[in-house]
Amino acid sequence: MRRALLLGAAGVVLAVGVALALLLLLLPGRGPVPASVAHITRIYIPLIKNACTEEVLGVTDLQIGYRFTADNALTTIDGDGTLTGIAPRDLALLNACLARYPIEPASEIPQDHYTRNLLYDYEASVLKPCLERALGEQLAPLPSRADFVERLYSWNPYPALAHRLTLSELLALDAQCPPIPPYLEQD
């Protein structure tokens, strides 16, 4: 009897979590998210480099050393153009472009069952359908709830998408289908 009550309570909590997630997505005022608010992670780095070198220099796949600033943005290791041969003015423009895309620090995967269940519900009922609608294609299936919650398996299509989309396409997709539900974002 006690087990049935606990399972029933857990089901109600999960249903409320999914309802809140859907409500937050449907509220007015949730327009496009600017790059400064998007969930830009390390998978974006090659896209950011290519987009900025193309925007500033008209080339892609430029082999330049990069490091992170105190604000978690990329910057070239070359401050004056002596290492790369890029004019100082162009180098300043390149670094300004890179600074528009601060990289989120790597976050720890939640391991508690409650949060994992909320995340699974969001990914299954909101994120995956949103991505499939936006892309017009089927994505890989999620692992089973048990594997996701108990064994900490994950489901993240964004790294694969980063290999075939442009930076602007990926940012638009991130804004349309946030990879993390608003109620689980860490401040």
Confidence of residue 71 (pLDDT cuts 50, 70, 90): confident
Q: The whole model's pTM is what?
A: 0.67
**Per-residue pLDDT tens over the stretch 75-124:** 888 766 777 778 889 989 999 999 999 998 877 778 899 999 999 999 99
- Look at 184 and 33; give whichever has higher pLDDT: 184
Beta strands (DSSP E) in the chain are 66-68, 74-76
Q: Which residues contact 121 (CB under 8 A, 6 or more apart)?
A: 14, 17, 18, 21
Confidence of residue 3 (pLDDT cuts 50, 70, 90): low
Amino acid at 113: H
Please state whether beta strands 74-76 and 66-68 pair in parallel, antiparallel, or not at all (unpaired): antiparallel
* Domain ranges for the chain: 42-99, 108-187
